[in-house]
Amino acid sequence: PILPDLLDQIPSDEEIGSVTADGAYDTRKCHEAIAARCAAAIIPPRKNAKPWKPTSPGAIARNEALRASKYLGRAIWRRWSGYHRRSRVESKMNCIKLLDQSLMARDFDRQVAGLQVRIAVLNGYTALGAPMTVAVR
């Protein structure tokens, strides 16, 4: 129920390429909100999922994901759709949380420094997964 509100926080003139979420977001409301923003929904259908009546763009996209998931199998569908990236991001966020969730320092400047260290670590993780683009002549 929160996803449509989250998407509304992004300006409507800003393009959204895809929205990745876990199976709990496999609802009509979520698929409709994603389709309304012309984005691709990368949400695994539930294991006991049945096709929806193709009455809206969100339902049609969800039925295509369901068909692909059943045809390819769930594991291959996750790689094919890019869903495996979500688990990588979650594992890196877990690493950040393991660094410590609370601010231990009492002094404000030291609290800022502690947050900057965590941000530097997160940026290091991001740099590891970022593609390096090189011009070929």
Q: Give the model confidence (pLDDT) of 26-73 as tens digits.
A: 888 998 999 999 998 888 888 888 898 988 888 888 898 889 988 988
| Confidence (pTM) | 0.63
For 19-82, the DSSP string reads EE--GGG-SHHHHHHHHHTT-EEE-PPPTT--PPPS-SHHHHHHHHHHHHHHHH-HHHHHHHHT
Residues whose CB falls within 8 Å of the CB of residue 88, separated by 6 or more in sequence, listed in order = 129
